[in-house]
Amino acid sequence: MTISPDDPCIEALKKRYQHLNSLVFYRSLEKARDQMDFFEILERVPDRPPFSWDENEHAWVRDDDIIAHKKLKIMRKR
């Protein structure tokens, strides 16, 4: 199910989460399965960067060392 950014519910969430970077907000919208899922994703965004999207957890996760994290992912692919 695709969620429209023009949905009144999404507009209300945009006001509630105005402290979030717009890119994080809209990427979360793209990843969400429905409105409730979108709300849950936004609720679990870490307070401070660095963080990245984890497909397995279907959530933003905190990265202590984003460079090391990326290198680990590359090594796992080999």
52-77: per-residue pLDDT in tens? Answer: 899 999 999 998 776 766 666 776 67
pLDDT for position 50 = 83
Would you say residue 47 lies in a domain?
yes
Domain range for 17 is 8-77
Angle at 42 between CA 21 and CA 45, to 5 degrees: 70
**Inside any domain, residue 3:** no
**Which pLDDT value is given to residue 68?**
61
**Domains in the chain, number:** 1
Q: How far apart are CA 5 and CA 65, in angstroms?
A: 32
Cα separation, 74 vs 76, whole angstroms: 5
- Predicted pLDDT of residue 72: 63
**Alpha-carbon gap, residue 39 to 13, rounded angstroms:** 8
The pLDDT assigned to 78 comes to 65
Task: Say yes or no to pLDDT of 1 above 60.
Answer: no
Q: pTM of the full predicted structure?
A: 0.77
Distance, in Å, from the CA atom of 24 to the CA atom of 31, rounded to the nearest integer, reads: 10
Q: Is residue 27 part of a domain?
A: yes
pLDDT digits (tens, 9 = 90+) for 25-60: 999 999 999 999 999 999 999 998 888 899 999 999
